[in-house]
Amino acid sequence: MSETIAITLTINGESVARDVEPRQNLVDFLRDTLGLTGTRWSCEHGVCGACTLRVNGALTRGCLVFAVQLDGAAVETIEGATQSGSIADLQQEFHRRNAVQCGFCSAGMLLTADTLLREKSDPSREEIRDFISGNYCRCTGYQAIVDAVESVAARRKGGKPKTGKP
């Protein structure tokens, strides 16, 4: 049993002030306290990537930070990225190419893919596979995701999509 600690942080651009138990991780804080259920948990030990979001602009596992550590921090979740439109091209391409099936990995996968494209404008398929290799997907087998990211990379760069599929 632990007392709560007051934190104030920014979630998707909005200031949020809450009292949190020290043992509550960021994913549980978002989902249970704030009702932002778009971020998922699936392993709670940092391996599967379902909880991946951004803290202070950096890709982060939501299950491996405690909410109490994030006083003053800025958190971006799938809800915020959707609302801002910053990943609209990825979402559209994932949809078009069926790079989403059950949807459970998608939030983490999209934010990870977007981060890759911000760091590298022309990743090879191997580089895409390497960068998303920390995001577990059981449904797609990954190829459609790689195709989608490759396609968006080309468009963001101003070129034409590389893969033959229309």
Partner 1 sequence: MRLLEPELLIDLNGLAELTGIDETAGGLRLGALTRHAELSRSPLVARLAPLLARAAPHIAHAAIRNRGTLGGSLGHADPAAELPACAVALDALLHIQGPKGTRRIAARDFFTGVFSTALIPGEIIVAIEVPKPAPGTLPLFAELARRQGDYAIAGIAGTARLEAGLLREARLVFFGIGDRPVEAPQAAAALVGRQPEKVDAAVAALARDLDPTADLNASAAMKRQLAGVLLGRALGGLMVQAA
Partner 2 sequence: MSNPLSFLDRPNSYIGKSVPRPNAKRLLAGRGLYVDDIRLPRLLHLAFVRCPFAHARLKSIDVAAASRAPGVARVFTAKDLAGHYTPWVGVLTHLKGLKSPPQHPLVIEMATWQGEPVAAIAAESRAQAEDAAALVAIDWEPLPPITDMEASLASGATPIHAAMGDNLAFTRNIEAGEVDAAFARAAHIVEEEYSFGRHTGVCPEPRSILADYDASEPRLTVHYSNQAPHMMKEIFARHFGVPEAALRVICNDVGGSYGIKIHVYPDDMTTVLASILLGRPVKFVADRLESFTSDIHAREHRVKARLAVAASGEILAFAIDDLTGIGPYSTYPRTSAVEGNQVVNLVGSWYRAKNYRARLRVAFQNKPPTTQYRAVGHPIAVAVTEALVDRAAEALDLDPAELRRRNLIPDDAYPWTTASGMRFEKLSHQAALEKLLKLMDYDGLRREQAALRKKGVHRGIGLACFVEVTNPGPAFYGIGGAPISAQDGATIRLDPGGSVTVAMSVTEQGQGTEAMVAQIAASALGLALDKVRVVTGDTERTPYGGGTWASRGAGIGGEATLQAAQALKGQILDLAGAMLQTPAAALDLAEGWVVDAAGQRRIALDEVGRAAYFRGDTLPPGVQPEMVATRHYLPRLYPFAFTNGIQACHLELDVETGFIRLLKHWVVEDCGRVINPMLVDEQIRGGVVQGLGGALFEECVYDAAGQLLNGNLADYLVPMAAEMPDIAVAHIETPTLESTLGAKGAGEAGTGGAPAAALNALNDALRPFKVRVNAQPLTPRRILAALGKA
Record the tokens describing residue 33, joined without a space.
């306290």
CB 54 within 8 A of CB 76: yes
Q: Decide if residue 79 touches partner 2 (CB under 8 A).
A: yes
For partner 2, which is the closer residue by CB, 3 or 158? Answer: 3
SS3 105: coil
As a whole number of Å, the CA-based R_g of the chain is 17
Sheet hosting strand 52-55, strand order edge to edge:
14-20, 5-11, 74-76, 52-55, 58-61
Minimum distance between the CB of residue 21 and partner 1, rounded to whole angstroms? 10
Q: Applying CB under 8 A, which residues contact partner 1?
A: 22-23, 44-46, 49, 52, 58-61, 64-66, 68-69, 112, 115, 130-131, 133-134
Q: Which residues bind partner 2 (CB under 8 A)?
A: 1, 21, 23-24, 31-32, 35-40, 42-45, 47-48, 50, 77-79, 82, 91, 94-98, 100-107, 110, 125-126, 128-130, 132-146
